[in-house]
Structure 1
Amino acid sequence: MSKIWKETGFVENDRWVIETEERKAGEDERAVLDLEAFIVAADETNEGGFGVLVSPADDVTRLEPYLDRIDLIAVAFPAFNDGRGFSHATLLRQRLGFTGEVRAVGDVLIDQVPLMLRTGFDSFSVTNAVALKRLEEGRLPGIAQRYQPTARDSAVAGGFSWRRLGTAGA
């Protein structure tokens, strides 16, 4: 069983359900559709409020025409060593300008959460026992200074994320 975590803590009664053959969204729940099913559904209606599941091999730029109709993009991490989801979050936030919720789902480890936050994730579906315990205790690992820019700037004064952005005096 997974729990949904945001920086404000664990979320009670999350209504999003990643639909499968065995599990469909109920009356008070909202469906998260895979990319292909989402595009079919979005093309059939002008409604909004969609949830989309993006797999590592998916092309997130296909979502661009629909972004204003999507509330949640769940990015799948099928294995801890598959980092394509980090690229998906970066593309969604920085290049495509998506402002809705980006959720990491799958093999989410505690050591990855700080970088996931920096690359644009704002919620996490956590099943790993160690990660759950550390999040309950408020114990996130971190690195004080960073050299690369991301969707979220370094909160620590003296960080170096400005170097490649060109926002500092030359």
Structure 2
Amino acid sequence: MAAERGAVLRPGDWITYGDGDHQVVALAGTAVRLRSQSGAESVVLASHLMAAPDFSVTGTEPLPALEPSGLLTALPEAVPTAAKEWQYARRLAAEAGLDDTNETADARVLDGLLTRAEHGPDTRSAKVAARTRTARAAPAPAAAPETEGSTQPETGLQPPAAAEARRASP
């Protein structure tokens, strides 16, 4: 029987291999030191052992529960946020033609980002002022004229004048 996918071989495990049951005494690189029930010791390559048709792990302790390592979800909330800020700063540095592997350049970009975030959106620049003036000067979209026998379903969202005209008509 071949080893199960994802199986882990550790010292102390009991395996069936070749002539009987063996205990894994040690692992060194790709070598596995085994001790048979009769006390005879042998060293076998892990690849040879696990490719054997009669190999199986017969006795093992369950793996200890471990915290996920290397995942941002296991960290306090501020840590992933800071990591994302640094990633964004590195990307902006690269887009600006700066060396994104230079932490000093990244720190300057990040400092600029945080300064802008601290002061809020820039409402005084010429671009922002022009956009605001254009938006205020643009006419409001005209309401669609009411037609009798309309095939469109009624949504209930009508301008107040149209709703009042409907109530007044018989």
TM range (shorter): under 0.3
The structure where helix makes up a greater share of residues is: 2
TM-score (norm 1): 0.14
Higher relative contact order (CA 8 A, sep 6+): 1
Larger CA Rg, structure 1 vs 2: 2
TM-score (norm 2): 0.14
The structure where strand makes up a greater share of residues is: 1
